[in-house]
């Protein structure tokens, strides 16, 4: 049984069976609040039947994960003000047995730690190549990190002092909050414990593309918000997205077109293609060093290279929206 010091906030929208698995994985392990963002599949009824306190967001306002998590935390604090730690979980995830006490122990052991996460695994990597690539991508290093993902445990007081997630962000809200927590002398760590199963549910190329566009958007926005935070990491990611996803592809196109007018210009396109091949070999070698098979390492490296195209699109989408003062709607991939 989990101590009353730990509470759980689950967010979701039309997650179906995944939500049931998620809520069952935390049932009886502290106060559980489920925040629903306009589901039409009976999620609210299912959550109540599984014993969760339900918060239904006002549909007249834009839905964001940040808004949902903040609303869940506020309700959790009302119901259980003694809660010291809050575990945020997305409705497409299933918390692994033993994670909640492990996360609480890690936060209790070191008062400088503001956020702790563990190992995330894809539940059905065999269902599509996109699921498999996500599963490989979840394999992050253990130790002190710049930021976590959507599934993580926070020190409640530090979370509240920071003002929670930035509700204006359509993606990357976890990275942005971690940046503020670190600048307030809080640490973010990943421990060697199984944290959750994740069910990304990507079966089509278009879903994978939109997900990468959202990532590129969040990189650019994170860089803009925390340009002074050298540990944030989004500056480098945003620059890489634009370089590999916009600038170099433009070089290939211009070089190929220019070759019709002046043959030496075609060398520009050739040089850029060589750069892509070198990058692919470098990424593949890095995955081989981490123990991946040659086929798996090459596949993941290829996905990383290809992902820069939609990421670059997402980054440009952010900057254009900022220049023209336009609000971008939530970028959904399912």
Query: What is the CB neighbour count within 10 angstroms for residue 61?
Result: 9
pLDDT in tens, 155-177: 999 999 999 999 988 888 998 89
Q: CA-based Rg of the chain, rounded to a whole angstrom?
A: 21
Where residue 48 falls among pLDDT bands split at 50, 70, 90?
Answer: very high
Among residues 221, 224, 219, the alpha carbon closest in space to that of 241 is found at: 219
In tens, the pLDDT along 204-213 reads 999 999 999 9
The DSSP secondary-structure symbol of 246 reads I
Q: What is the pLDDT of residues 205-235, one digit of tens each?
A: 999 999 999 999 988 988 887 766 655 567 8
Q: For 64-86, how does the pLDDT look when each residue is reduced to its tens digit (9 = 90+)? A: 899 999 999 999 999 999 999 99
What's the CATH architecture for 6-203? Alpha-Beta Complex (3.90)
259 and 265 Cβ atoms separated by less than 8 Å? yes
Domain boundary assignment for the chain:
6-203, 205-334
Per-residue pLDDT tens over the stretch 135-145: 998 888 899 99
User: Which token pair is 57?
Assistant: 């967001």
Q: How confident is the model at residue 266 (pLDDT cuts 50, 70, 90)?
A: confident
Closest CA to 283 of 267, 258, 302, 310: 302
pTM of the model: 0.87
């Amino acid at each position: 049984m989990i101590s009353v010091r730990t509470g759980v906030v689950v967010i979701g929208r039309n997650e179906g069976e995944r939500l049931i698995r998620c809520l069952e994985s935390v049932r009886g392990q502290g106060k559980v609040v489920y925040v629903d963002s306009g589901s039409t599949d009976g999620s609210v009824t299912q959550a109540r039947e599984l014993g969760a306190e339900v918060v239904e967001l006002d549909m007249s306002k834009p839905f964001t994960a940040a808004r949902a998590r903040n609303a869940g935390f506020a309700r959790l604090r009302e119901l259980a003000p003694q809660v010291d730690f809050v575990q945020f979980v997305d409705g497409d995830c299933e918390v692994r047995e033993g994670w909640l006490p492990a996360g609480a122990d890690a936060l209790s052991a070191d008062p400088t730690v503001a956020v702790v996460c563990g190992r995330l695994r894809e539940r059905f990597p065999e269902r599509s190549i996109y699921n498999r690539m996500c599963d490989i991508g979840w394999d992050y290093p253990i130790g002190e990190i710049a930021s976590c993902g959507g599934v993580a445990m926070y020190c409640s007081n530090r979370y509240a002092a920071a003002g929670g997630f930035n509700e204006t962000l359509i993606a990357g809200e976890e990275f942005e909050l971690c940046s503020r927590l670190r600048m307030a002398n809080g640490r973010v760590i990943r421990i060697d414990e199984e944290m959750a199963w994740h069910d990304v549910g990507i079966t089509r190329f278009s879903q994978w593309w939109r997900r990468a566009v959202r990532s590129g958007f969040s990189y650019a926005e994170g860089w803009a918000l925390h340009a002074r935070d050298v540990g944030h990491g989004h500056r480098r990611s945003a620059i890489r997205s634009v370089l590999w996803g916009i600038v170099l592809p433009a070089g290939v196109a211009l070089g190929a077109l220019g070759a019709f007018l002046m043959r030496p210009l075609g060398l520009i396109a050739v040089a850029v293609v060589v750069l892509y091949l070198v990058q692919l070999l470098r990424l593949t070698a890095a995955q081989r060093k981490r123990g991946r098979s040659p086929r798996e390492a090459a596949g993941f490296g290829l996905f990383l290279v290809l992902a820069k195209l939609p990421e670059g699109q997402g980054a440009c989408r952010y900057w254009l929206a900022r220049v023209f003062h336009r609000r971008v709607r939530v970028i959904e991939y399912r």
